[in-house]
Structure 1
Amino acid sequence: MTVRVVVADDQELVRAGFAMILDAQPDIEVVAEAGDGFQAVGAVREHRPDVVLLDIRMPGMDGIEAARTVCAETGCRAIMLTTFGQDDYVFEALRAGASGFLLKDVRRDDLVHAVRVVAAGESLLAPAVTRTLIAAFTSGAASRPLDAGRLDVLTARERETLRLLARGLSNAEIAAAMVVSEHTVKTHVSNVLTKLGLRDRIQAVIAAYETGLAVPGRLPP
């Protein structure tokens, strides 16, 4: 299956470079390029791609607003691009529905891998961005907390899975910690996302911190 991609960046050379790298892959097709958020939203509405790469800072409509629009209207998954490792807008972009966050100096192979991972329904964050996200909770920069009672719909094992997700563990690592199979973990993760109405693992991590299920710097029991 070919992954259809829209690349949006106000810098033409950056946009063209990313598009060239992705279009050279046998399983990826760049269906459109955009120079600002308005063009990006228009391109997603017209071409219905699987993934859109959005520069977080663009004229007119920025990448965050564009992500919020396309994620709400379509099944397209957004990867945010930035030149800053500790961007002030990381948390806001993830809350807007972004499924990935990469620095613009990302290596060629990592860019391609990110598109494939996000298109497959997973989430992806650069390590520097993960540190920024956790720092937001530590400093209280995150927005209003959710009602912890929202987690009452989860079983004990699903809560444990969510706590481990918040630590950034992979399915294999969660399986080892819980002494279950990876298939069981995948089922728990799917149940967590469905019951809480979340798009992906990133939003699950955010929900874990916002509800107090996970606390920065504290390991789950």
Structure 2
Amino acid sequence: MSLIRVAAMDNHPIVLEGVGAALARSAPDMELIAIADSCEALLAGPGASADVVLLDLRMPGQGPAHDNVVRLVERGLVVLLFTAEERPTPVRRAIQAGAAGLVLKVDPIETIAQAIRDAHLGHLACSGPLAAMLLADESLGTRLSERQIEILQAVSRGLPYRLVAKNLGIAEATVREHLARAAHAYREGGIETGNVHGLITQARADGHLAE
């Protein structure tokens, strides 16, 4: 029997060591071959030859999770999100970037193992009702455009509107219009964000902006 080689990227190694031990007991068809705390470390070691990579969505200092997904997928790796994250926005962005599915850290090890098998076979892996809801329920979370997110990210770093406009090659009035549309999107969902600082706080809380 050919083993499914699993690698994992997480900033809590003890969690992954527990997963590795549980897989050894419950899933004789797979083996945890590498644990890493960054894309660089994973790709520089045995994890680069894994069949499936378990990727935590919350990796401090590693940039947005969907960027990590892109890097790993570009190297030919199958990425399965493995996280305690329950905000729909970062989950969906990671799926759009190429992740093969989602399992939650609270899931039973048998469920996680089956999701790994599904991802390895090329199926969209989804470990349970909550994960399915995060992936598919269109009513969850406020949708913002890529341009709105880009502008909010720039403003959150303290850049004045005129510099944001200059950097993006658009008019300052256009920057303000995008911010107004983002605030309107939240109002339509029943959330009043107030001023731009409130808008940034809400967008960050929803996972639109990098921590």
Question: Are the equivalent residues in 2 in contact too, given 1:5–1:29 (CA < 8 A)?
Answer: yes
The 5 A counterparts of 1:34-183 are 34-43=36-45, 47-62=48-63, 63-74=65-76, 76-125=77-126, 126-136=128-138, 141=143
CA distances 1:135-184 after superposition (whole Å, capped 9, x unpaired): 4477661757xxxxxxxxxxxxxxxxxxxxxxxxxxxxxxxxxxxxxxxx
Indicate how the Cα distance of structure 1 residues 20 and 77 shifts in structure 2: closer, same or farther if over 3 A, else same.
same
Residues matched between the structures, number: 142
In structure 1, what residue type is equivalent to 2:134? T
CA offset at residue 61 of structure 1? 1.8
Aligned twin of 1:32: 34
Q: What's the CA shift for 1:120?
A: 1.4
Q: CA offset at residue 73 of structure 1? A: 2.3
Farther off after superposition, 30-39 or 98-107: 30-39
Cα distance in 2, alignment partners of residues 138 and 84 from structure 1: 14
TM-score between the two structures when normalised by the length of structure 1:
0.56
Give the gaps of 5 or more residues in structure 2: 147-211
The equivalent residue for 1:176 is: none
Secondary structure of the corresponding residue to residue 119 of structure 2? helix
Identity of aligned residues (%): 25
Pair 137,91 (structure 1): closer, same or farther in 2 beyond 3 Å = farther
Aligned equivalent of 1:19: 20
- The amino acid that maps onto 1:141 is R
Q: Residue 50 of structure 1 contacts residue 77 of structure 1 at CA under 8 Å; is this kept in 2?
A: yes
Superposed structure 1 runs of 4+ greater than 4 Å apart: 136-140
RMSD: 2.4
Q: Shift in Å at residue 42 of structure 1?
A: 3.2
Consecutive unaligned residues of structure 1, counting only runs of 5 or more, are 145-221
1:59: Cα distance to partner?
Answer: 2.4
Equivalent AA in structure 1 for residue 59 of structure 2: M
Contact 1:8 1:35 in 2 (8 A): yes
- Using structure 2 for the length normalisation, give the TM-score: 0.59
Flag the 1:136–1:108 CA change in 2: closer, same or farther, 3 A: same
Question: Is the 2:116–2:125 Cα contact (8 Å) retained in structure 1?
Answer: no
Describe the shift of the 1:15–1:138 C-alpha distance in structure 2 as closer, same or farther (beyond 3 A).
Answer: closer
Say if 1:8 and 1:34, in contact at 8 Å, map to a contact too: yes
CA distance in 1, matches of 2:88, 2:45: 26
